[in-house]
Amino acid sequence: MNPEQAHLLRQAQESFRSTRLLANQGHYDLAASRAHDVMFSVSEAILAGQSLAFAQRAGIAAAFREQFEGTGLVPAELAHCLAEAVDAPTPSGDFRLTLRDDALEQIDHAERFLNLVQRLIGPVPDDAEQA
């Protein structure tokens, strides 16, 4: 695991902890948004291991699907979840609040991404391992 991947995965893990806290406080729109952050950070870390980098979420989702669709390494539904997250509204007054069930589903997807990355490139390093 290279330093960029480690940084992205620690970031993803921290975001994942936030999703649970936000959902428990009833902030479902923010929890879903944070869950999307997890999925993209994990995907970006996996792609970084192949020397691929993207500035936009749409690019990350497209590359992730291109690299892994049909390989058997990544369940097809996870690549699909990532593609759907590209178009998901961000929390603001302009969008409807995400319903509880939707947020919990996104949190489940985020957890599946964290489990996937552990299988593909190893466990998320803790902060003590950064040096």
What ranges make up the beta strands (E) of the chain? none
Tens digits of residue pLDDT in 81-91: 777 777 765 55
In the chain, the percentage of residues whose pLDDT exceeds 90 is: 11
Q: Which of 67, 79, 71, 73 is nearest to 39 (CA)?
A: 79
Contacts of 113 by beta carbon, 8 Å cutoff, 6+ apart:
12, 38, 39, 42, 43, 78
Tens digits of residue pLDDT in 43-59: 888 888 777 777 787 78
Instruction: Match domain 3-125 to its CATH number in 3.40.50.2000, 3.30.420.40, 2.60.120.10, 1.20.120.330.
Output: 1.20.120.330
Region 58-76 average pLDDT? 80
**How do the domains of the chain map onto residue ranges?**
3-125
